[in-house]
Structure 1
Amino acid sequence: MKRLFRHSQSPNPSTHRGRQRSTRVSTGTRLGLLLLCSVLVVGLVITTNFAVAQSDSSLQEQEDQLIREYTLPTTPQKEPVYKPAPAAPPKKSTSPTRKRTTPAPSQPPPQSQPTRSAPTSTEPEEPAPARRSPAPSSPAREEETAEAEPLPTGEYVLQFNRSPIVGNRFRFRGVYSEARLGFTRPRGWKIQGAKALIRFQHSPALIAKDSNLTVRVNGTSVGSVPLNRQQSEVGSVLFNVPSRLIQDYNELTIVARQSNDEECSDPGDPTLWTEVLPDSELQFEYQPQPIPLNFSRYPYPFFDDLSLDTNRIAYLLPKVNDTWLTAAPRFQAALGRMAEFRPIDTEIINDLEDIEWGQRLVVIGTPAEQPAIADLDLPFSISGNQILDGNQVALPSDVGILMMTTTLDGAVPVLVVTGNGADGVAKAAQFLVQPDSRKFGTGQAVLVDSLKEVDTPSLRNWPGYLPEENSFTLSEIKTKENGDPFEDITVRGSAAPPIPIDFHALPDDQFTRGSSMTLRYSYSPQINPRTSAVEVLLDGTFIGGARLTSEDGATRKRLKVDLPPHLIKPDSQLEVAFRLNPREPGVCGKVTDQQLTGTLHADTSFNLNRQQSVQLPDLGLFQEGYPFAAPQDLSRTAIVVPDSPSNTDLLTLLTVSERLGRLSKADSVNLDAYTTTTLPAEVREGHHLVGIGTREQFPFPEVFDGSGFRLQDAFSRQWNQGSIQALPDNEGMIKEIMSPDNKERVLLALTAQTANGLERVRQVISKDPWFFQLQDDTVLISSNQQDTASYDPDAYTLEFLERAPSTSRIENTGVLSKVSRFIQDNWFFLPAGIFAIALLLYGISQFYLKRLSDQKSH
């Protein structure tokens, strides 16, 4: 083996030469492969560079083509500037509104008069602080001021009774009491001076030297007045408010310190009271600032969420067509979402000369549909009813065009939503109704070439309502103020306010027994365990609580509270209240309680037992937008007007769109509107419908043929087999029925015998005090006032009729739930059913007994 091993290792000349040849061949092969790889790499690089060059050339060609198609016009020397007039509008010019090539100098409107003079009082006024000069405006506001020419100064009076907190009285009780009022500063206002006129009465039992009224603005005191009036006489004092204190959002705080005993005043003494009268007011002296129009500021100035007055929108009406019916309701619905609780006054005008001071004009349609577009001062030129780019080439029909301008005097801003075709107009309007899209708009004009399509949310995805899951935590509920998730909340003191939680059930939720809430809370030491507690209330009803038993405080305690199913509604509110009392009693009304705290933790959990079940029709559910706002982008709702709609019909269309916008929250608006003849069959069958019009032109005459209350020819009306004729019949009617074409869809009828009656329907839909009274399935609306736009709470009378017998239940439940629901709805058949079942069982048992006896006999 050793020799074999050595032999195998011994050199062999022939073998060695073969190996050398093999090595040379292998080396040559490697060199060849390396050379081949190098050639391939070089070729690949050349090919790649050529492809990249071709791609870059192609992209450059596409960009050049894009630029060639969408060449922008020369940038104007000056942006259009909105110059709001402070008070009454200037007189209407008789000259036509024609397009100008150079900016014409605008004449300043005449000096405005005060909205109203300050109320006089026979009482001597208290000395007021010296008036201070207004602080210089911030750099941000100076950048917005495009013109050096100052506008006239105006005055504005804001009375306290406009706040729902004040109402008819504003009372302060106890030894120390304070109340707060919020107000805003409209955009474009430069405050020159501000005053607070406080009119008050107080108890004659107060000691003047120990009782006073203090006013603070944004935490800074602006003055005090002693409560020294005799026999509850009305006092009046005028406080100067430094203009530098006024911000966009402001808080006026009134503090009343009251004493009726030099040694000790009982906080519960009913003679410790002061009332601030509701005609107290804030007086502003301001100078409106000219604002350059730019889409980076949109929706201002067309909608100002800081305005103290109603935002006024005017639509220039073209010949009604599908383009306008698609774009205008969606735009109005988007305004409703932005407005939330703020009012909007909407009008329709037929000519540019009809525009009024204080309005904002919206022009929707192509130049062919809206000839007045050619009369406006716009960056794009128009020829042959076509909008041209910078090369005087017509823009494509599917490109949306948005432009801002003003009337010739600059006092009315104008928003133009247009394009050279219906697709372009719809795309331009859709850009404004999608929050994510309009965020990156800027400049005076915007071309909308493409727009991201927003997915439709699920039917039960309603922001602001309870989550779709049955188990969730408090942090998954959004706050009402800013829509952020709830976090741990701490309150302090013995008079700590309850912590509110919007507990809005989805409109089609039906709750059963077993729903519960696991409250997690903490509290501080030094409390009195005998009188301190935590309470849970649902719509003001106590549903659970526990004593705070530890004098040393506690951290993350748990309390399980049952949620009564019959109390949970779409507008419900939970409250967690900490009743904190100190260990040591107060002396002479002075209680040291600021060391007492209670904390509600965000991991408080909820476990709900619920199912989807709702009975329709029900106008009470319309208060929440159901079922028209399911899904929240309104994509399953269509509004239908007559083929030749009147201005009242179209205003009602815009009002309903605005209301649906206020009742929904989504990333887009896909609401559709049609005339009677253009309504597609698939939409009629698959959508919830809203019909608008007087009885003679109503799009769905079957509403007047079914059961319940009906309007007929010759001003006749029928109900419960009775029939009458009324002359005149100026009542409006809101009626909800199941759609004749689909029993799972709803048809809402907004109608009347006359246009006056339909206008009353529109006013009820637009104003919250009446809209949130709707119930049952039919409402008759009457009024004894000529001014149907009145805000008087007694302006309208609503008469609710009983539910019609033809109802439908929309549900998504199991078999057991359906059987349970059937038994609950038909309980009066239960005794007969039990008797029938007993009789059946008796018959079966007798049959078997007889059969057994026969078998035995055989």
Structure 2
Amino acid sequence: LLLGAAAAFAQPAPSARGQSPLGTAGSAPIGAAVGAGAVPRAPGAGELLAPGPASLFATDPNAAPSAPGSSRVETRTLRQLGLRGPMQLRGTTDLQGILFGVRGDEVVTDARLTLQGATSPALIPELSQVAITLNEQFVGVVTPDRARPAFGPLEFPINPVFFADANRLNFRFTGRYAIECNDPLSGLLWSTVSDTSTLALTLERLPIVRDLARLPEPFFDPRLLREPLNLPVVLADPAGNEALRAAAIVSGWFAVQADYRGASFPVSSQIPARGNAVVVSTGVDAIPGLTLPRLEGPTLAIIPNPNDQWGLLLVVAGRSGAEAVTAATVLGVGREALTGELATVQPGAVPARQPYDAPRWVRTERPVRFGELVDPSELQAFGYVPAPINIPFRTAPDLYTWRNRSLASNVAFRSPPGPITDVMVSRLDVSINDIYLRSLPLAQPDDFWLVNWVRQRFTQPERGEERVGLPPYMLFGQNEMQLRFDMRPLHRGDCVAVPGDVRASVDPDSVIDLSDAYRFTTLPNLAHFISSGFPFTVQADLARAAAVLPERPTAQELETFLTLMGRIAAIVGYPPVNLAIVRPEGLGEVADRDLIVVGPLGRQPALATLLRDGPIQLEGNRLTVATNTGFGNIRNLFGGERRSELDRVQAQLAQPGEALGALIGFESPLRSGRSVVALTGSTATGMEQMLAAMRDPEQLQRIQGDFSLLAGGRVDAFRVGGTYTVGTLPPHLWPQYYLGGNPWALLGAMFLALLLIAGPLYWLLRRRAHRRLRARTAPN
């Protein structure tokens, strides 16, 4: 949900959240342009729809970096800059745009915008236009031509002085189809800017600066809003547990910086031939071709890449594995004091994390204001039908309430009064994760006159406030609350002026309140792991988690491990500084932790140990299904839903062909209540494909249950094993939990209740009858 970092922006400050509403395409070869030297020309070969990363003028991480002072030309379509389709400008949505960045080690020396699109043939050319601005600086205008509605390609030179680190390219539509009377909601008022339009920049490389204070630059540039991080990690072969732990901390810290962009960490034992990389050294095993500075303790340094004069290496090193971990921890949680090219750091006290206190998770012990989640400028809306206001928030998904009672969100908003908008039909639509919840009317309720009198004198009449219920079953690890104003002008179709600069806002003091929920859920549930890393992320530093790796992992297996750790760290916003790493023979050392097992089936013997009592078992290098796992499940031999699920899994596993990838969740056989999640596959490639599916929005939603299998490019989810619970509930909620989803238990409870009521009642009635008989037979 956070991957779309572009918006339509009249805000004074740039924002990386939100997305402009988009529509259908429209393009043609000819048009008219005015201002800023617009010159019609034919597009150059390869400029439109040119393949490339959906990034913002970023160099290929595997390409040779240019020397300082050299120039390169980078061309991107508007789709590659963030648009999901052609930009549709309407009378009520007259301002839209794109947010993009430029690398910090490059400067723009020349820029040209080439546009294609179309305008309504009903527009009056003298009174209509599409104005283009960059960071509120004028670039040019497109004037409609009734005879030729389609325009372009039109080229607009842009002054390089206009560019900054974060840039807003805005398009404002002004249209009139009649000289006197215009309905802003008329279908005649429209203009389209094609997403195949291009922006070409000439970029000059700046001199390299080696300074730890500038981290994460130049290894990661936060200005590139859509560029995924691809940072090579160099480790000695073989790498010890402490070196891998240090690499996991460093990878997690860089992934936290990348956040929604995503991050991957290719692993090698050789210095890359070109570009930047991270080197983790314990001072025991030398890395070929690398000369480290003299180590006098835990060390962080930025040195030149010996294979590339323009590349840099971030060295995280120590004379021992423990010192390398200390250096990585200082980088991850205490780098504020770092400066210069080399620093010998001292171990500091890392504060212990408390359960559910991840930096990127909302607090659950108190209401959380919208102003704490987003910048207040992002709560402003412009126009009658503006783009939605998005409130992203993250939490652990183990929220439990009485009978799934909704959690509270008080939404306060301000909007124009009745003389400007038709408040009787205007509304604020509220959704959670793209699921509609309810509409809040902009009109004040028409109550009894005394209630209205009190409201006018003791409340803010221009401010509305409503309570919106958030069903807990709609809340996942990563959530987004969408608020969309839908306002209508009071006067339509007549010759009364309609205000154009209409504004509305959501109050930053609006709150999301999760404090009424208990922390309790049923596991295994791979959807919880995918969305929030749960249950491993209950402690943000993974103090309750351990990673189990093969005895001698390959570079591909280590890449999968580091990328997975980076994904989990990005979810909570904290590196895994207390993660334990063991090999298969060390399972007993981490029996009291939740386990993340990484490795292909044939190279991870820990899987055979952990799966031995479950329905999915490991035989050699293949997974099999145990159809009868004990007397308690003997009823599955005679059919039923679970037997059908096991048959489906067996059919999937029996299919020959390409490599399989699997994600398996189950309760640890080493300690009750502890969890195990295994990322595995028939080969390392299958395991890597399963990890890629975890980053694919289409595949991600299919990862559920306790067993997800990737075969033939598609993920299928199954529920094959038993369940267990984590968390605590007050006593009065236990009957609801046990009886809510178990009709047989409910019938048993009713039968027991009848016995408890009928038994004593029967005894009392029999006793009374016996007394009556004795009274009748007694002598007078």
Above 0.5 in TM-score? yes
Secondary structure in 1 aligned to 2:103? coil
Distance in 2, matches of 1:446 and 1:200, equals 54
Distance in 2, matches of 1:510 and 1:264, equals 56
Structure-2 residue corresponding to 1:453: 349
Distance in 1, matches of 2:441 and 2:382, equals 18
Distance in 2, matches of 1:776 and 1:554, equals 49
Matched, 1:565 2:463: no
C-alpha deviation, 1:768, in angstroms: 5.4
Structure 1 pair 677–312 and aligned structure 2 pair: CA distance change class (3 A): same
Distance in 2, matches of 1:496 and 1:619, equals 37
Supply the AA of the counterpart residue of 1:402. Answer: L
Distance in 1, matches of 2:427 and 2:231, equals 48
Structure 1 pair 556–219 and aligned structure 2 pair: CA distance change class (3 A): closer
Secondary structure in 1 aligned to 2:265? strand
Unaligned runs of 5+ in 2: 1-26, 39-66, 447-451, 626-644, 775-780
Instruction: Give matches, 1:69-218, under 5 Å.
Output: 123=30, 129=36, 151-164=69-82, 166-174=83-91, 177-218=94-135
Matched, 1:467 2:363: yes
Instruction: Give matches, 1:253-292, under 5 Å.
Output: 253-292=170-209
Structure-1 residue corresponding to 2:43: none
Distance in 2, matches of 1:413 and 1:568, equals 45
Q: Which has the higher contact order (CA 8 A, sep 6+)?
A: 2
Distance in 2, matches of 1:199 and 1:810, equals 56
C-alpha deviation, 1:325, in angstroms: 1.4
Supply the AA of the counterpart residue of 1:458. Answer: Q
Structure-1 residue corresponding to 2:499: 592
Distance in 1, matches of 2:261 and 2:234, equals 23
CA contact (8 A) 1:534 1:579 kept: yes
C-alpha deviation, 1:505, in angstroms: 5.0
C-alpha deviation, 1:700, in angstroms: 2.1
The equivalent position to 2:316 in structure 1, one of 378, 401, 417, is: 417
Structure 1 pair 229–195 and aligned structure 2 pair: CA distance change class (3 A): farther
C-alpha deviation, 1:451, in angstroms: 2.3
Supply the AA of the counterpart residue of 2:727. Answer: E
Structure 1 pair 460–473 and aligned structure 2 pair: CA distance change class (3 A): closer
Structure-1 residue corresponding to 2:739: 823
CA contact (8 A) 2:412 2:463 kept: yes
For residues 597-644 of structure 1, what are the alpha-carbon distances to aligned partners after superposition, in whole Å with 9 as ceiling and x for unaligned? 556261668585322221111111111221111111122121111102
C-alpha deviation, 1:827, in angstroms: 2.9
C-alpha deviation, 1:122, in angstroms: 5.6
C-alpha deviation, 1:774, in angstroms: 2.5
Distance in 1, matches of 2:311 and 2:115, equals 35
Distance in 2, matches of 1:800 and 1:605, equals 32
Structure-2 residue corresponding to 1:627: 535
Instruction: Give matches, 1:594-609, under 5 Å.
Output: 594=501, 600=507, 602=509, 606=513, 609=516
Distance in 1, matches of 2:93 and 2:657, equals 58
Q: Which moved more, 1:720-729 or 1:643-652?
A: 720-729
C-alpha deviation, 1:311, in angstroms: 3.5
Secondary structure in 2 aligned to 1:741? coil
Distance in 1, matches of 2:353 and 2:395, equals 18
C-alpha deviation, 1:412, in angstroms: 1.3
Structure 1 pair 327–714 and aligned structure 2 pair: CA distance change class (3 A): closer
Structure-2 residue corresponding to 1:842: 758
Q: Percent identity?
A: 20
C-alpha deviation, 1:339, in angstroms: 0.6
Structure-2 residue corresponding to 1:293: 210
Distance in 2, matches of 1:588 and 1:345, equals 59
Supply the AA of the counterpart residue of 2:269. Answer: N
Structure-2 residue corresponding to 1:509: 399
Distance in 1, matches of 2:261 and 2:390, equals 22
The equivalent position to 1:648 in structure 2, one of 535, 552, 556, is: 556
Structure-2 residue corresponding to 1:662: 570
Structure 1 pair 316–736 and aligned structure 2 pair: CA distance change class (3 A): same
Structure-1 residue corresponding to 2:239: 320
Distance in 2, matches of 1:549 and 1:720, equals 56
Supply the AA of the counterpart residue of 1:283. Answer: A
Structure-2 residue corresponding to 1:813: 729
Supply the AA of the counterpart residue of 1:826. Answer: N
Structure-2 residue corresponding to 1:720: 646
C-alpha deviation, 1:763, in angstroms: 2.0
Structure 1 pair 658–514 and aligned structure 2 pair: CA distance change class (3 A): closer
C-alpha deviation, 1:488, in angstroms: 11
Structure 1 pair 608–532 and aligned structure 2 pair: CA distance change class (3 A): farther
Distance in 1, matches of 2:385 and 2:684, equals 54
Structure-2 residue corresponding to 1:537: 430
Structure-1 residue corresponding to 2:14: none
Unaligned runs of 5+ in 1: 1-119, 132-148, 382-386, 388-394, 784-795
Structure-2 residue corresponding to 1:51: none
Distance in 2, matches of 1:819 and 1:215, equals 63
Structure-1 residue corresponding to 2:51: none
TM-score, normalized by length of structure 1? Answer: 0.72
For residues 632-676 of structure 1, what are the alpha-carbon distances to aligned partners after superposition, in whole Å with 9 as ceiling and x for unaligned? 112212111110212221111111111111111248732232222
Matched, 1:691 2:597: yes
Structure 1 pair 596–407 and aligned structure 2 pair: CA distance change class (3 A): closer
Structure-1 residue corresponding to 2:672: 743
Distance in 2, matches of 1:328 and 1:632, equals 17
Supply the AA of the counterpart residue of 1:154. Answer: R
C-alpha deviation, 1:587, in angstroms: 5.0
C-alpha deviation, 1:850, in angstroms: 2.6
Distance in 1, matches of 2:731 and 2:427, equals 41
Supply the AA of the counterpart residue of 1:286. Answer: L
Secondary structure in 2 aligned to 1:461? coil
Secondary structure in 1 aligned to 2:94? strand
Secondary structure in 2 aligned to 1:340? helix
CA contact (8 A) 2:264 2:563 kept: no
Q: Which moved more, 1:645-654 or 1:314-323?
A: 314-323
For residues 233-256 of structure 1, what are the alpha-carbon distances to aligned partners after superposition, in whole Å with 9 as ceiling and x for unaligned? 462111111000000010000123
Matched, 1:329 2:248: yes
Structure 1 pair 356–160 and aligned structure 2 pair: CA distance change class (3 A): farther
Instruction: Give matches, 1:667-686, under 5 Å.
Output: 669-679=577-587, 681-683=588-590, 685-686=591-592
Distance in 1, matches of 2:466 and 2:71, equals 60
For residues 193-250 of structure 1, what are the alpha-carbon distances to aligned partners after superposition, in whole Å with 9 as ceiling and x for unaligned? 1111112133444444443322110011111122227565462111111000000010
Of structures 1 and 2, the larger Rg is shown by 1
Structure-2 residue corresponding to 1:60: none
Q: Provide the aligned length of Structure 1 versus Structure 2.
A: 676
CA contact (8 A) 1:266 1:588 kept: no
Structure 1 pair 557–316 and aligned structure 2 pair: CA distance change class (3 A): closer
Instruction: Give matches, 1:20-35, under 5 Å.
Output: none
Distance in 2, matches of 1:839 and 1:311, equals 65
Secondary structure in 1 aligned to 2:737? helix
Structure-2 residue corresponding to 1:47: none
Distance in 1, matches of 2:514 and 2:600, equals 48
C-alpha deviation, 1:533, in angstroms: 5.8
Distance in 1, matches of 2:612 and 2:575, equals 39
Distance in 1, matches of 2:383 and 2:609, equals 62
Supply the AA of the counterpart residue of 1:439. Answer: E
C-alpha deviation, 1:733, in angstroms: 0.9
Supply the AA of the counterpart residue of 1:455. Answer: P
Supply the AA of the counterpart residue of 1:474. Answer: R
C-alpha deviation, 1:464, in angstroms: 3.8
